[in-house]
Amino acid sequence: MPKYVLAYHQNGGGAGHMPDSEEAMAEMMKAWENWFGALGENLVDGGNPISFAKTIASDGSVADGGGNPLTGYGIIQADNIDAAVEMAKGCPVLANDGNVEVAEAIDM
């Protein structure tokens, strides 16, 4: 079954959108746990959050961050990309003004 990388993007960057109270953090973590549970065996790797990044251009120049900063990732398996997109629609990052990029990981 094909694998798909889910790249989580948060408008404005990741750390700035972290909950500011223990209660809000617990709610956010519960939403992720529930979604991971709903994915079941399709969840290959729950991934990790991503913090500050630098972008390297083809000319070797280095810039802080990027236009659409990556704030985390996960890996799922699905029959096809449309099925992966349907699974990604439940991602908690979407409830916080973020987006999810779905891309097939090609075995080499």
What range does the domain containing 101 cover? 3-105
pTM, two decimals, is 0.85
Q: Strand 43-45 vs strand 3-10: parallel, antiparallel, or unpaired?
A: unpaired
Q: How many structural domains is the chain composed of? A: 1
Between residues 25 and 75, which one has the greater pLDDT? Answer: 75
CATH of the domain at 76: 3.30.70.1060
- Write out pLDDT tens, residues 75-100: 999 999 999 999 999 999 998 888 99
* First vs last C-alpha separation in the chain: 14
